[in-house]
Amino acid sequence: MGPLKESQRSSASLVVCNWKAYLGIEESVTLARNALALARSHATALWIAPSMLSLGSVAQAVRGSMVAVGAQNCFWDGKGAFTGECTADELIELGCTFAIVGHSERRNLFGETSASAAKRAHALLRSGLGVICCVGESAHERAQGHTLETILEQLAPLFPAPLARPGQMIIAYEPVWSVGSGQTPTASQIHEVHELIKTHAAQHVENLRVLYGGSVTAANAAELARAPSVAGFLVGGASTKLDSLKALLDTLG
């Protein structure tokens, strides 16, 4: 799936569903088929990132449709002795069009760094796949007033990026303290970080889309989308159940 047309853009024109490891293969396929039906009746674009073992089945279930399918990670090199990793070529063969890199859970649980996330992102970009790169501060960093400094440090190794086309890269701002906690920044706080990201990236990327992620639900999506710099949402738990996903899309229109 390519970049959104200008006529399709709004303050929140994209929802990316990160299903993490919540769903099995059969559950993922069923939800993907139901999500496709939702996508047909909503203006908001819908992308899905199922677990690695579900990727092929989900991609087959929605193949040729308006719903894009992507991976939750990707290795920075091609074929080789890289036990437990997947390559960009493999993702393309499965039918993926994008991948997520640098998610806070990858950083905190598996030792991902900004440098390694950037290497993964660059490999995806060179392969022609889209990239959603996540950045975000911890509760301690925000309390100490280091939010903007942290974001810039995480972005630094990402640029310049080997973009093959406009819209190929998206940044997702996910405050670590917000993910799964039910707490969210205010619209003005989100806007401040998004504007920093866009300003920093402007010399390398035109019209960069920035998503917000972190405890996004139907109950708060409308308020969060009031920040004019929010191009959409990266959604975790609320995207793993059909009723909450429908409510979210209904809220966004």
Q: Which residues pair with 100 in a beta bridge?
A: 132
Per-residue CA distances from 20 to 48, 54, 145, 191 (Å): 10, 11, 30, 26
Q: What residues contact residue 203 under an 8 Å CB cut-off, 6+ apart?
A: 159
Question: Is-cis flag, bond preceding 50, omega within 30?
Answer: no
Q: E-strand spans in the chain?
A: 14-18, 45-49, 68-71, 98-101, 130-135, 169-173, 209-213, 232-235
Asked if residue 141 lies in contact with residue 177, where contact means CB atoms within 8 angstroms, the answer is no
- What gap in Å lies between CA 146 and CA 227, rounded to an integer? 21
Q: Which two tokens stand for residue 14?
A: 């994209």
Alpha-carbon Rg for the chain, nearest whole angstrom, is: 17
**234 three-state secondary structure:** strand
Residues 77, 81, 84, 90, CA torsion sign: positive
Q: Which residues pair with 233 in a beta bridge?
A: 15, 212
Q: Which residues are catalytic?
A: 103, 174
